[in-house]
Amino acid sequence: MKKVLCLFLAIITVFGLTACSGGKVVKDLDAIKKAGVIRVGMECNYAPFNWTQSKSSEDAVALASGGYADGYDVRIAKKIADGLGVKLEIVKLEWNGLTLALQSNKIDAIIAGMSPREERKLTIDFSDPYYESELVIVVRKDGAYANASKLSDFAGAKITGQLNTYHYKAIDQIQGVKKQTALKDFPAMIVALQSGSIDGYVSERPGAVSAVSANNDLTYIQFEGSNGFKTNPEDVQIAVGIRKGSDLAESINPILAKISKAERQSIMDMAVANQPLSN
């Protein structure tokens, strides 16, 4: 009996130590340094955060699949790569494939306008935020909702958002709304809006500014105070996605900390100004 008790106590101790250790640290930094390149995944289809263009430019990064990636995320990714002392490789992926690509080691990080929401933290980790915005609704200039000023004005409106995003979930805050099927990306939502199949879509403000700049038949509704969406900080913050237990955050966070709020806004302003004038 004494031997059984000792064995039981030993097992409890082992499990207790394992739990306290927090699990094995994933040494991504060593692998990235050895390879001399960090592979960053993004849609390249979400201006001004990221987009694809046909021609090279000062800030654009060539894509293996053809064309060049540019945008706010690309410029932040370049700063991170420079800070780590490695080259930057942009991997163009659909939004729904980003997390799986990270978990399967096809990419080292996600820099794609992704919010560090609690449900995402169950499967991946995040850096400190590198941008913070607000939610707005993009509508047609000549539409019935062009003069809306509060969420309640959208009762009866056909509203959508991007698949698997907080934007789409936030639609539930609009009483009486006709929530439409989520669409895969922002170009698809712009086409749906212009064709009249929807009355509007939820977006972060930079994405709305980008859409309006490229499409003069659109505008966006920005809400004041309690008239708009209720959000938590992680709903509107943007952060770098990394593997669970990865040591990358220890190196990425100091790099991000060196980018002042004014510089971040300046980078976003340049991204909006330089976006391609096409969907």
Residues 259, 161 within the same domain: no
Q: What is the mean pLDDT of residues 169-175?
A: 97
81 within some domain: yes
148 within some domain: yes
Confidence bin at 25 (pLDDT 50/70/90):
confident
The C-alpha atoms of residue 155 and residue 245 are separated, in whole angstroms, by 44
The 10s digit of each residue's pLDDT in 100-116 is 999 999 999 999 999 99
Residues 243, 124 within the same domain: yes
Helix axes 72-84, 249-257, angle to 10 degrees: 110
Residues 91, 143 within the same domain: no
pLDDT at position 12, please?
42
Q: Say yes or no to pLDDT of 85 above 80.
A: yes
3 within some domain: no
Query: Are 99 and 85 within 8 A, CB to CB?
Result: no
254 within some domain: yes
Residues 65, 141 within the same domain: no
The C-alpha atoms of residue 135 and residue 89 are separated, in whole angstroms, by 30
Residues 46, 164 within the same domain: no
Q: Which of 210, 230, 250 is the last residue of a domain?
A: 230
102 within some domain: yes
Q: Say yes or no to pLDDT of 24 above 80.
A: no
pLDDT at position 23, please?
62
What is the pTM for the complete model shown? Answer: 0.80
18 within some domain: no
Q: Say yes or no to pLDDT of 11 above 80.
A: no
Domain that holds residue 148: 135-230
99 within some domain: yes
The 10s digit of each residue's pLDDT in 37-56 is 999 999 999 999 999 999 99
CB-count burial class (<10 Å; 0-12, 13-18, 19+) for 69: buried
Averaged confidence pLDDT in the chain: 91
Residues 97, 146 within the same domain: no
Residues 255, 224 within the same domain: no
The C-alpha atoms of residue 214 and residue 138 are separated, in whole angstroms, by 13
Residues 76, 109 within the same domain: yes
pLDDT at position 254, please?
98
180 CB contacts (<8 Å, ≥6 apart)?
158, 159, 160, 198
pLDDT at position 160, please?
98
Of 136, 134, 128, whose CA–CA distance to 76 is shortest? 128
Number of domains the chain contains: 2
User: In whole angstroms, how large is the CA radius of gyration of the chain?
Assistant: 22
What six digits make up the tokens of 233? Answer: 């900080």
pLDDT at position 220, please?
98
Q: Say yes or no to pLDDT of 10 above 60.
A: no
Confidence bin at 6 (pLDDT 50/70/90):
very low
